[in-house]
Structure 1
Amino acid sequence: MRIANDPVALGLQIEQAGSRPDVVVEATYGWYWAVDVLQAAGAEVHLAHPLGVKGFAYRRVKNDIKDASDLADLL
């Protein structure tokens, strides 16, 4: 599911995840505002450095769905 790149939209979406959800965020440009919103909503946030995610380097296909799946597996 895509979420608008907007703090309000992200905050509304994370509220549906329940109390203190674990969330992993790829630490790319602009990640800091998303982490602020997630933490304010009670999420436990983990940052993943894109160069440190081995699955990213070994895949022939790179897209948001595959990236999200790899990040979820790491979490």
Structure 2
Amino acid sequence: MKLYGGIDLHSNNSVVALLDEEDHVVYRKRLANDPALVLESLAPYREAITGLVVESTYNWYWLVDALMDAGYRVHLANTAAIVQYSGLKYSDDD
């Protein structure tokens, strides 16, 4: 089984998600921004992960360095260049 990961990076925590080839969520968790903790959380899925996408915010360097040093294939997402999904619903939608 191949897994694809995305990491939504915030100032003091990250949301790590892994999806399978059919877009089923296999793992999703909010973690403190601690490289050892992130790597430990990904470890059980290591062999199946084909790549991880990290949001290229102002503080992405430490995370990308840790992931690449651990041998993960990492991609940066330029959030300013990504077109938002046009079907987004908002909390006040009926």
Q: Which TM class, normalised by the smaller chain length?
A: 0.5 to 0.7
**What is the TM-score normalised by the length of structure 2?**
0.54
Cα distance in 2 between the residues matched to 1:33 and 1:56? 29
Q: 1:12 aligns with which of 27, 40, 43?
A: 40
Q: 1:58 to 1:27 in 2, by over 3 A?
A: farther
Matched AA of 1:14 = L
Cα distance in 2 between the residues matched to 1:11 and 1:38? 7
- Structure 1: state its 5+ residue gaps: 62-75
- Structure 2: state its 5+ residue gaps: 1-28
Deviations 1:12-44 (A, max 9, x none): 122122227200000001101000111122110
Q: Which has the larger radius of gyration?
A: 2
Cα distance in 1 between the residues matched to 2:30 and 2:83? 24
Cα distance in 2 between the residues matched to 1:5 and 1:11? 11
Q: Which residue of 2 aligns with 1:3?
A: 31
Which one has the bigger helix percentage? Answer: 1
RMSD: 2.2
Which one has the bigger strand percentage? Answer: 2
**What is the TM-score normalised by the length of structure 1?**
0.66
